[in-house]
Structure 1
Amino acid sequence: MLSENGSVALHGLQFVTKERWEAMTQNRERFLKNESENPCDFSAINQAVAESWIRSRNLGIDPFQTRIDKSLNSKELEGLLDKNKLLINITQKLFNSFKSLVDSSGYSLYLFDKNGVLLLFTGAFPQNVDYDRLMPGKIFNESTVGTCSHVLSMRYRCPIQIIGPEQYSIYYQNMIGSSAPIQDEKGELIATLVLNQELINPVLDSNYQKLCIHTLGLIIAMAEAIQVQIELEKNNQYVSSVNKDLRLAYDTLEATLDCIDEGIVNVDQTGQVIRMNQQGLQIFNLKPGQIAGKNIRDFLDANSSLMEFVAKGEKSSVEEMICTNKDEQSYLIEIHPVLTQNTQLTGAILRFNHVKKINAMVNSRSGAIAKYKFADIIGESKAIKEVIELGNRFAGLQETILLSGESGTGKEIFAQAIHNRRCSQGPFIAVNCSALPRDLIECELFGYEGGSFTGADRSGRPGKIELANGGTLFLDEIGDMPLELQPVLLRVIENKQVIRIGGRNYKKVDFNIIAATNKDLKKIMEEDLFRKDLFFRLSVLMLKLPALRDRENDVEILSNYFIKKYCQKVGRKTPLIHAEAREKILSYSWPGNVRQLENAMIYAINVSKDNTITLNCLPDNILSEKTGKFNGKDSTEEENILLSIASWEKTAIQVALMRANDNILVAAEMLEISKATLYRKIKEYNIKV
């Protein structure tokens, strides 16, 4: 885009952050919906683009039009093509030299005259666009399509690159346009050269943005090559000059490909290697002079299916082992077929990405997904509502939070809900301190520099703490954190700085801490297995999650929810629950809490018959639980006390049931106990209902 002084900023998409992308999209929507909005006031929108938006609206351009119908008549077109014959011939030769790469990459190349009339087109045909719209003679200028890259390039006589949200017309909304002017020896505008590429997801990926910078550089080089060639042609320096400038364009393309940190390899139908970029040479451990005679099959496993995919002539991807004289490495290979105009397969362009690189990108960019919010937590009991309300309050603070509760009570769900309430735009990085081997947890938390130990990635790897920068680090089962790492973790929390294993410099990190445990940390501290200073630092805010048995009627609510949810997932009709099965579900103690309840319901659905969950459909460990014992004690005195209390309790329940006409809910309200508790007591005292 243009800089403030009107010069060309070749950085293009390099500085497009997620925030700016969203701001540009919102600004465009505001401008289109409200005529009083002045886009020049939008900080995210370049002034040249904003001014063009205003002109486009004043010209009456419909931003939602999908057809460009304005064109020259046949006589006007014939005269224009004849006038620009030299320009078209030179550009056509250059287009042909790039056709294989352009077609396989999904790019489109356009040549417009100085008034925006289409002279030439090649490359991937845009989706949902009629063929006749890209015929020579169609008029694409500010008065027909509004703001786009070549419109601004013609106006300011300089290279331009703009992206989807900056385009005025929906016609270009999924495009990144790179344009460069073609001028004569006097500096007068002759034409404009355009390279359009479709937006990919994620558009903000750094490697993709770098590639967009290179495409702008490529279109500039092509425009300059055309300018030079026109001048040479006018001076009758045809043959030698054509070869020279085509070579310049070819070298520009080669340089562009070498800037890409992916292996790019061009092969024919038999797998014979035609060319490869610098990264490709490194992958196959070759030097430029060693390409001749090489076949891609020489580097593949005997069971490879790569060439089978190439033979199909379709875009696809496959993971393969690449074997060199050094070792074997796994790569994800994207296959782009190269077809003639008659759709005959001539070979393919292969893009190689190391699997480790892809995994590292996923780990370093996305982190874990925090999908739960407080609204997703199911339950109507007083206990769960109180802890949700407290969690909501804590989420508005920046202090560390310690979640405690039995296994299966939903500690990670609460952690995700707090994260989404507190900093939903940042990463949510979860670390299970009990699931990682002691010798790996340090690497996982703090990362390491390349060469720090045997087997380490050459480029190193960031740790979970680095990845949590700007978001939340969730330390699950914190009670199992190795004692020797606890002071290091405490120092990171206090100083908000981390140093990788083998590193020399500290890196600043800004993250929120949520820790969770199902253990009694105070008891562990008494055993000198957990540092008191770390405990006090983690437990600034404490949230104790209730066990399922303490959540009144939530067992019934949750069991119905899990049954309905699972049946919708697998496409089954929701089964009925037999009375005996329901009584057992409500009276069972659920030591595994919500997680155990959900698993039990899934089991019951899958073993049920006749669309009914019976008592025998429940897992054996639930059916085998005995009720009516006094904490497993055999003391006669305690049993006598129990019998004395039990007699009164049984009588009270029988009276309440009689007055409620055996309505469990009404009887429970009379007794001021939960329905689940009443079911359990009825079972315990063998009361007939």
Structure 2
Amino acid sequence: MQPLEHLLSPIINNLNNASNQLEDERILIEKIKRQKMDMIQKKITPFQVDLVRPEIAESWKRSSENGLDPLVYNDPPLMDALSFEQRLKEKDYLIQAAAPYVSKLENMLSHIEAYIFLSDENGLILRVAQALDNNRFRLTPGTIWTEETIGTCAHELCIRLNSPIQLCGPEHFCRIFNNISSSSAPIFDVDGNLEGTLTIASPKFHRHDSYSLGLAVIMAETIQKEFQLSANRELLQSALTATEDAMIMIKAGVVIKANKAACQIFKNLEQDLIGSQIGDVFEDIPLLESVLGTREPHINTHIKIKRSKQKFSGSIQPMKSYDNKNLGCLLTLKPINSTLKVSQSSNGFTSRFTFENMIGTSPQSAKLKNLAKKFARHKSNILIQGESGTGKEVFAQAIHNESRPDGPFIAVNCAAIPKNLIESELFGYEPGAFTGAERIGKPGKIEQACGGTLFLDEIGDMPLELQAVLLRVLEDKMIMRLGGSRYISVNFRLVTATNKNLLELVKRDLFREDLYYRISVFKLNISPLRERGSDIVQLIDHFITAYAEAECIDKPTLSSTAKYILLQYNWPGNVRQLSNAISYAVCMSTDGVIYPEHLPDEILKTSSTPVLERHVSEKDVEDIESSSDSDAFAVNISVKEMEKEAIKRALEKADNHVRDAAKIVGLSKSTLYRKIKQYGLDNNIEE
């Protein structure tokens, strides 16, 4: 038999190792406590704190600056009952989505001492589970836990960082949490906005490990999916209720939901809609089955309903879940010829822009929109002036939808139609008027605009001989088709646009003076894009969203440097050029981010901004965004100067440690070494 000492030796060694490990942990905890106090007492800076993560040290600093003492725990403030009740109503979807999963966590962790709580995006505690009777932290629903009230804590950092985090013991600010470990994970809505956090905390510090953080993350993601589904269901229900169009949801060949307008159609046919097979309701079964199978939408198509003589125009859109599963399709119906606008759309005459959906809130744009709205209330002719691509037709459509929304919007580009054809395009012609004319004749654009708006774009390119005819039409409100013998009465609103100086053309006898004063009763001058700084930011976001949706891809984000370059650029092609540039950048982007190298060459060639992402601060971007002066776009900073300054700031922040500085500027350590020597910054640097 082996000696007893030999048998017990492994056990004794394990106990010694565990004891040593606990002792090492105790020593580390004491060091962290001392470093925290030294930093609070300003004996050291947050950059010199090396025992905790930088974000924790920064949080300690903010907590101290808020007047908190780590040795004193003040009970967190409690929101008043009325306000808290209102907040619970606002967060009802989140609370309801989280309820079953919080209950599961309670069951899973029932064998250990733990706290489970849900907070909103501001640190307000919404729900607490497994808070023990000896709840000395006053962790109850309605309390506000933030850096201002209790100092550094896991869910507050989770809110600030928008990412999961775990804090252990003295990493918290207040001493009362020295034996606590807490793990928090964020919960986002469908637009990526923070909705709240889920936190698991335990007073059993030595029992807490990465398992708790993983559990918090998994449960938060599950709650998030359920919350987003609930929000989508509510949004869909609101849309179904609010619209006047008939809307029908179909899944697996069965009608599962319909709004009031749809039910009314089938009520008139004495037919129950909900629960019906599509074969019993519609005649276009292959079309519906095609959308259900391929998930490819059909827009503005004819839909036939059984036992109904009425014709419907409809769109069939596939519905997808958050994980791209097929949820069926949504069918939108409206009677053909129910409104004049449907007829317009079917003939290609559309005016989709209104003052409400126009992008841009710069002072220039706001003033211009208010002026255009005022002009739209009157019947007089409007002249819109501005460089190419500034959005003159957008304003023309908005004026039309404000003044004559039920009439047609007819647009004619005077520069795009050959001179020998523009007269027939505007005034139309009778059968046989000239060789090649349609056998039955054709109405002109002016005639088609009756009851609506005629938009003559690039009016400065209209031939002189035709200007005299147009002037007569504006005076008499009558036209005669080419080859015709009778006058036709017309009633339309005239909006014209040009990128030329018409008065200069008048002086050169290239434009009739009497016509100029006839069409320019009201004048709108659209500023070029380079003079509308804040509009650029909004247009960029709008175009990124639009092109991502059109390509069915996730919306990419715009890096700070790319944004800075776009704001610096002069935009000679204005909004049209910006739209094309963003379309190109979205196509070229990778990993969900648009970097400078994804921008068109003509923009990059004019920029002096370095390609390194972190060389442009958010402050630089904000300075240009907030400026409406065109001089803000003339910033010309040397690439080397910016690069040198960025590296210098990073070294100062990292206390001359190259490895940490490399992380700050986003370079490899070897590349940073080379640039440090290149710029003569190699004094006092450390590994």
TM-score class, shorter: 0.3 to 0.5
TM-score (norm: length of structure 2) = 0.43
